[in-house]
Structure 1
């Protein structure tokens, strides 16, 4: 039982890294050298929206990367437009530049190719997604419980 659970965790980690590698290959194919795979994923997740860095961090999963650093680099390289929020002058919002929109579209086309190549197997992925969502909810619940209960070291001291 434990082996299956640990196998699932390992597979999730490997799949995330492989997804980033697939994105890197696509960037290399397009001659895009001033953008990392994680940065491309951030651009894809921004899409057509305007977001604060905090919202961006909550929206995506970037393998522990520093979102603020990546935003700064993408602003410097012309991928993001950063402005003060009209509603809260303390907040900075970011949106995609034309250069970034081209990258976002390239990644979307790549994903479309993948869906087409998977064909009938896409139906199986829906079942996998349901299982992964259950696992995500379980882990979120574990985090919530952990934040509400004292640590085991505090229990031992009592």
Structure 2
């Protein structure tokens, strides 16, 4: 069974990474189309994921699975460029909460419009909701597998069999 899974598993790893890069490129093209040069594709995705919430950088990192130092840097840049507002927590002065500014809300709405156009295009191009649901189920299983591998050592490391 191991040999039968090896190549599809490796192909999945490569495909997930490639799909993520392609999606970020789609966001970059949309930002260019909108003439927005003061925010990059990764920052716009972080901004979209903040949505209507008010979060700390730690909460944002946990929610989006971004690397911590990158989130701090990107939040700083988005604040400097007017996409986010920041406010120190009254309960813990070390903690800063961020939320979208009016400029950030406008960009979030534009990204939502992009996603709506893409959903229409997916439907017209014959990609059914069930197919996406099945793909998502598979990716969630991989996520649980990798999470448990990190958390509980669920896989057998080489040389420990």
- Mark yes or no: TM-score above 0.5: yes
> CA offsets, 1:82-139, max 9 Å, x none?
1101332221000000101111111111011111111152221011111111111011
Aligned-partner SS, 1:66 = helix
> CA offsets, 1:22-44, max 9 Å, x none?
00000000000000000000000
1:113 aligns with 117
The 5-angstrom pairing of residues 1-158 of structure 1 reads 1-62=5-66, 66-119=70-123, 121-146=128-153
Quick one: distance in 2 between partners of 1:65 and 1:25? 25
Check the 8 A contact 1:51/1:94 in 2, yes or no: yes
Q: Which has the higher mean CA deviation after the structures are superposed, 81-90 or 42-51? A: 81-90
> CA offsets, 1:44-96, max 9 Å, x none?
00000000000011111447871101111111111110110133222100000
Q: Which has the higher mean CA deviation after the structures are superposed, 25-34 or 64-73? A: 64-73
Aligned residues: 152
| RMSD of aligned alpha carbons | 2.2
* TM-score, normalised relative to structure 1: 0.88
Distance 1:62 1:38, change over 3 A: farther
Unaligned runs of 5+ in 1: none
* TM-score, normalised relative to structure 2: 0.87
Distance 1:3 1:65, change over 3 A: farther
